[in-house]
């Protein structure tokens, strides 16, 4: 489908996007200068002012039309995502499906952005007064998104922002900007008001320019260093930040081991291990550790890597050579520190073999910090309290998974883990689009998830009469 080219930015400088798998050209986008970014925000201000008085029904209609357009353009979008990220075509199709669902749920949720009425009779002089509390748009939302989910994570910012009555200026990762660019074109084709949703392209300079522009809220997904730089740049502007995680999966003696193995593989090797909430640390109770590994090792060996466009491929490459080299370095240093290599440990260009490292030290490179790559790092434990304390001692706190049917253990993990979400008999990477998602400590500020993000992207107004 040929769409009208959007993006008022006309630049002689373009960014060429190449496949991380084989280097072939996927497309290019115009690079925005800091002045281009500032101009886009000024246009968004005008669009937000005009859109402020829209009704929930009108906002829902816009988001549903865009969701329909995404569904109609699914093959093209999936091809772009697979090409620019190296995500398998099956993973890319699933992302497109989820992105449409995020937009549709946002439109629906916007019709229930309810306020409340409180009686003021608890204070002197308030006997005949009522406080009416409503939610109003913040104005312009600046959205900075990462490479790993270039479409759905953008929709997690765009959908609630529009449903709340805001305008959006998005700056996608320069490693994977094509799906975002396509989404902006689809919005125009779906009849969205001019400048309500704009996309600007570039690297750190463009992101800082967006943060320094007169936006009213910044929503960022990425690493902690980038998040801190943007937070410092935007001053007192409200920030929502998802900054990653170093997430554990605990497997207890009563767990369904086959299901836990399948979840470990699915939640660690998706996008070649480049998901914020992936299983970064696998904690096996000593009573079932060997039985679990007896199942895990052959299953990992059967995981097919290669061309992400091939329907038979289970896992594609990491995003670039620098990322592959960093994963390789961490694996080698962890083995040198005494860990046992049970599978993988090799790479060819950007294809890192699915890897299992057993009996990994708590300060080993693969788990001391978040590792964006297909590495399962296993630790044994005997005492639940000690294992929880070990996780809580880390700098991250996004999500955790626990495989057990022991009610007392479930209550303990749910109460004591210092994380944003605890998934029972699931991996930490599980997420539903309408449920709050985010972390504590170094993992971020605020929450995403359609329902909670609507209020995060709104201002509270109180009228008393």
Work out the number of other CB atoms within 10 angstroms of the CB of residue 49: 13
Q: How far apart are the first and last CA of the chain?
A: 54
pLDDT tens by residue, 401-433: 999 999 999 999 999 999 999 999 999 999 999
d(CA 145, CA 155): 10
d(CA 461, CA 220): 25
pLDDT tens by residue, 115-160: 899 999 999 999 999 999 999 999 999 999 999 999 999 999 999 9
Average pLDDT, the chain: 96
To the question of pTM greater than 0.85 for the whole model, the response is yes
Residue 260 in contact with residue 412, Cβ under 8 Å?
A: no
Work out the number of other CB atoms within 10 angstroms of the CB of residue 77: 26
Q: Which two tokens stand for residue 296?
A: 């895990």
pLDDT tens by residue, 306-334: 999 999 999 999 999 999 999 999 999 99
User: C-alpha angle 353/80/203, rounded to 5°?
Assistant: 85
| pLDDT for residue 9 is more than 70 | no
Name the CATH topology of 248-424. Aldehyde Dehydrogenase; Chain A, domain 2 (3.40.309)
Q: How sure is the predictor about 114, in pLDDT bands with cuts at 50, 70 and 90?
A: confident
Helix (H) / strand (E) element for 267: namely: helix 257-269
Q: How sure is the predictor about 1, in pLDDT bands with cuts at 50, 70 and 90?
A: very low
Residue with tokens 């989404």: 183
Residue 378 in contact with residue 357, Cβ under 8 Å?
A: yes
Q: Which residues are the active-site residues?
A: 242, 276
d(CA 219, CA 145): 8
C-alpha to C-alpha distances, 304 to 96, 272, 310, 333, 445, nearest whole angstrom: 23, 11, 10, 26, 37
For residues 81-92, average pLDDT: 98
Residue with tokens 């059967």: 302
Q: Where are the domains of the chain?
A: 14-244+441-464, 248-424
Q: How distant is the alpha carbon of residue 240 from its chain centre? A: 12
For residues 63-79, average pLDDT: 98
Range 14-244+441-464 classified under CATH 3.30.420.40:
no
């Amino acid at each position: 489908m040929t769409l009208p080219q959007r993006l008022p930015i006309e630049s002689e400088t373009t960014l060429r996007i190449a496949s991380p798998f084989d280097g072939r050209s996927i497309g290019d986008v115009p690079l925005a200068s800091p002045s281009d970014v500032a101009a886009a925000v000024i246009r968004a201000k005008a669009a937000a002012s005009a859109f402020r008085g829209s009704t929930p029904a009108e906002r829902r209609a816009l988001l549903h039309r865009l969701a329909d357009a995404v569904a109609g353009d699914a093959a093209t979008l999936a091809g772009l995502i697979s090409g620019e990220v190296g995500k398998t075509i099956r993973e890319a199709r699933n992302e497109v499906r989820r992105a449409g669902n995020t937009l549709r749920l946002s439109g629906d949720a916007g019709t229930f952005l309810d306020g409340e009425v409180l009686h003021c009779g608890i204070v002197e002089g308030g006997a005949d007064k009522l406080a009416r509390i409503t939610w109003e748009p913040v104005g312009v939302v600046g959205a900075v998104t990462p490479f790993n989910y270039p479409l759905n994570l953008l929709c997690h910012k765009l959908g609630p922002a529009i449903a709340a009555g805001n305008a959006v200026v998005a700056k996608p990762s320069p490693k994977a900007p094509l799906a975002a660019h396509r989404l902006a074109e689809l919005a125009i084709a779906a009849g969205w008001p001019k400048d309500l949703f704009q996309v600007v392209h570039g690297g750190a300079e463009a992101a800082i320019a967006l943060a320094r522009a007169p936006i009213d809220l910044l929503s960022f997904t990425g690493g902690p260093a980038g998040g801190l730089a943007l937070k410092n740049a935007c001053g007192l502007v409200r920030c929502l930040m998802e900054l990653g995680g170093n997430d554990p999966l605990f497997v207890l003696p009563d767990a369904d081991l086959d299901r836990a193995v399948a979840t470990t593989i699915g939640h660690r090797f998706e996008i070649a291990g480049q998901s914020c909430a992936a299983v970064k640390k696998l904690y096996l109770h000593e009573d079932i550790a060997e039985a679990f590994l007896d199942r895990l090792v052959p299953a990992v060996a059967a995981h097919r890597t290669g061309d992400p466009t091939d329907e038979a491929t289970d896992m594609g490459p990491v995003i670039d050579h620098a990322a592959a080299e960093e994963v390789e370095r961490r694996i080698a240093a962890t083995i040198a520190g005494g860990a046992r290599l049970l599978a993988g440990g090799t790479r060819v260009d950007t294809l890192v073999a699915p890897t299992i490292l057993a009996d990994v030290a708590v300060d080993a490179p693969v788990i001391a910090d978040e590792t964006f790559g297909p590495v399962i790092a296993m630790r044994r434990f005997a005492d639940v309290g000690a294992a929880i304390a070990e996780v809580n001692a880390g700098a991250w706190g996004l999500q955790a998974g626990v495989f057990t049917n022991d009610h007392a253990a479930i209550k303990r993990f749910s109460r004591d883990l210092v994380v944003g979400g605890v998934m029972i008999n699931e991996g930490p990477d599980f997420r539903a689009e309408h449920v709050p998602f985010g972390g504590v400590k170094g993992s971020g500020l605020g929450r995403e998830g359609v329902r909670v993000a609507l209020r995060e992207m709104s201002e509270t107004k109180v009228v008393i009469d």
